[in-house]
Amino acid sequence: MSDAHHTPPWRHRVEHVDTDASGVVHFSRYASLLETAALEELERRGAGLGALEEQRLDLRVRELRLSYRAAARFQDWLRLDARLEHVGPASLKLGVTVYREGSAPEPVLLAAGSLDMAVVNRESGEPTCIPLTLSAALKRSPSP
């Protein structure tokens, strides 16, 4: 499933805690940023963690892919564009692109990645099919 619908980006200002000693965002912080943007996208679609919890479901990351293009620095404003790329019977894949906003006339691509997540039973941890109500919510156009 490819999602052609545009949703508002998630923004993050780089904090000191995000950076290494030279003031550059540490590579490990990007995984957290991708996860936050992906979860915000699910929330916009009405299928966030609360909706999953009501169904006694949870998400487990099966694969994280990330390509770095340029460095972000302390106090940069980042724009994270998340999109739902695939809804399987018991899995989701979201893509996230990270840009620096501000000084350049156009946003600068910093990183691009994806999160492949399994939907599991909250108690047993076993993979579980996504209920039709949540599957329908995921496939609908997200709320702005």
Return the pLDDT at 102: 80
Does residue 57 belong to any structural domain of this protein? yes
Six token digits for residue 12: 């993050």
Does residue 3 belong to any structural domain of this protein? no
Residue 40: beta bridge partners? none
Does residue 135 belong to any structural domain of this protein? yes
Cα angle value 105/79/19 (rounded, 5°): 105
Cβ neighbours around 90 below 10 Å, total: 15
Q: How many domains does the chain have?
A: 1
Does residue 4 belong to any structural domain of this protein? no
Nearest CA among 94, 61, 93, 60 for reference residue 80: 94
Token pair 């691009």 in the structure block, residue: 112
**pLDDT tens-place string over residues 65-94:** 999 999 999 999 999 999 999 999 999 999
Does residue 15 belong to any structural domain of this protein? yes
CATH number at residue 18: 3.10.129.10
The domain in which residue 109 lies consists of: 10-139
Q: Residue 6 pLDDT > 60, yes or no?
A: no
| Average of per-residue pLDDT across 10-33 | 92
Give percent of the chain above pLDDT 70: 92
Return the pLDDT at 143: 58
| Average of per-residue pLDDT across 46-55 | 95
Six token digits for residue 119: 């939907």
